[in-house]
């Protein structure tokens, strides 16, 4: 664990009108590339912490327990979340750790303020419940909070069924656990595959799950210009369409544009998406040929050639 940093911390991007974040706060969210790891902070390293709590129960309790462990006794903790995405449970969960609370509501969020008790209870159990583990059903390393952390997403499964044997240099944007990468690498004609994800936990899991000399794994926002190699032969992806729990179709559209920029002329994008997502217009803008290859169970597969 790292030495105490004697400064405030922040987890995620809390709305500024709901929780003030002190200047110089160290970012600790695994969804912010380049941030520090809350898991690696020494006990008592922080004097205050503001947390935009994640929606999943195991992930949220894991994060709250890590937050209390990282705070010095008496350190201030502010936790908030949308009411329908875990916010209504914050007070009960923090009370279970032995915290005395001040709870308020604003803009459909619950906001809980507390201080770290001298002897919080139940931290080790909550940390263990949300820690990385090998899932025997998947045969992969995973962790609560990663996209589709304990099952194969149906869209990914449909893409795997539809993919031809690929060849050359490629990328998997938003690689998650590396499930799609395994299918791509089954082709011996694939010479290199760049896996990119903005979730540090997914990157760490992929490095364990796809231990292959043809593979590189990068913790980065796939939309960034320097995150993806250039002049690729193919890109595969199941792009995200939620940001902070709310649907954001611009995310997937940005992934499509980044894929087009990374491909060589004649290179191919293989994309899976929910059928209701209107990606066809964006695909038509940046690719010369777009073909729908499959539709099933609420998902669609497009092949797009640059």
Query: Residue 14, exposed/middle/buried by CB under 10 A (0-12, 13-18, 19+)?
Result: buried
Q: 53 near 90, Cβ under 8 Å? A: yes
Pick from 199, 159, 218: nearest CA to 183:
159
Q: What is the DSSP string of 140-204?
A: EEE-BTBTTTTS--HHHHHHHHH-----EEEEEES-TTSHHHHHHHTSTTEEEEEEEES-HHHHH
CATH code assigned to 7-129: 3.40.50.150
- Nearest Cα to Cα of residue 262 among 193, 181, 170, 195: 170
Cβ–Cβ < 8 Å for 104, 141 = no
Say which residue the tokens 């043809």 belong to: 214
SS3 state at 305: strand
Query: What is the CB neighbour count within 10 angstroms for residue 40?
Result: 12
Q: Say whether 36 sits in a helix, a strand or coil.
A: coil
On whether the CB atoms of residues 244 and 265 are closer than 8 A, the answer is no
Q: What is the C-alpha end-to-end distance of the chain, expressed in Å? A: 46
Q: Give the C-alpha distances (Å, rounded to integers) separating 13 from 4, 149, 234, 243.
A: 22, 23, 33, 11
For residues 163 and 184, the answer to whether their CB atoms sit within 8 Å is yes
Delimit the domains of the chain by residue range. Answer: 7-129, 133-305
Instruction: Could you please state the CATH topology (level 3) that the domain comprising 133-305 is classified under.
Output: Rossmann fold (3.40.50)
Predicted TM-score (pTM) of the model is 0.94
> What's the pLDDT at 249?
81
Determine the Cα–Cα distance for residues 18 and 198; give it in Å rounded to an integer: 25
The shares of helix, strand and coil residues in the chain, as percent rounded to the nearest 5, are 25, 35, 40
DSSP string covering 240-287: --EETTEE-HHHHHHHHHHHHHHEEEEEEEEEEEETTS--HHHHHHH-
* Domain pair 7-129 / 133-305, same fold: yes
Question: In order along the chain (306 residues), what is the average pLDDT of each group of 10 residues?
Answer: 69 96 96 97 96 97 98 96 96 97 97 97 98 96 97 96 98 97 97 98 98 97 93 96 72 95 98 94 97 97 98
Residue 252 to residues 7, 42, 223, 241: CA-CA distances in angstroms? 36, 37, 10, 6
Q: Give the separation between CA 31 and CA 91, rounded to whole angstroms.
A: 24
């Amino acid at each position: 664990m790292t030495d105490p940093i004697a400064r405030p911390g922040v987890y995620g991007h809390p709305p500024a009108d709901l929780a003030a974040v002190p200047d110089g706060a160290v970012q600790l969210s695994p969804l912010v590339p380049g941030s520090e790891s809350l898991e690696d902070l020494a006990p008592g390293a922080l004097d205050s912490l503001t947390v935009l709590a994640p929606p999943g129960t195991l992930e949220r309790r894991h994060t709250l327990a890590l937050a209390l462990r990282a705070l010095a006794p008496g350190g201030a903790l502010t936790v908030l979340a949308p009411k329908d995405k875990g916010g209504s449970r914050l007070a009960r969960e923090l009370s279970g750790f032995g915290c005395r609370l001040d709870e308020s509501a604003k803009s459909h969020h619950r906001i809980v303020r507390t201080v770290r008790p001298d002897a919080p209870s139940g931290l080790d159990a909550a940390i263990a419940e949300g820690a990385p583990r090998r899932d025997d059903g998947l045969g992969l390393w995973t962790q609560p909070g990663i996209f589709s952390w304990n099952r194969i997403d149906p869209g990914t499964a449909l893409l795997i069924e539809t993919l031809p044997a690929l060849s050359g240099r490629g990328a998997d944007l938003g690689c998650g656990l590396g499930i799609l990468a395994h299918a791509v690498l089954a082709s011996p004609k694939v010479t290199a595959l760049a896996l990119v994800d903005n979730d540090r936990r997914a990157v760490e899991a992929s490095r364990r799950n796809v231990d292959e000399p043809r593979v590189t794994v990068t913790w980065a926002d796939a939309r960034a210009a320097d995150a993806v190699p250039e002049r690729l032969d193919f890109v595969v992806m199941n792009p995200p369409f939620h940001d902070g729990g709310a649907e954001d179709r611009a995310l997937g559209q940005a992934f499509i544009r980044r894929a087009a920029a990374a491909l060589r002329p004649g290179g191919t994008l293989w994309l899976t998406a929910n059928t209701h997502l209107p990606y066809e217009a964006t695909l038509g803008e940046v690719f010369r040929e777009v073909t729908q290859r499959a539709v099933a169970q609420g998902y669609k597969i497009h092949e797009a050639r640059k």
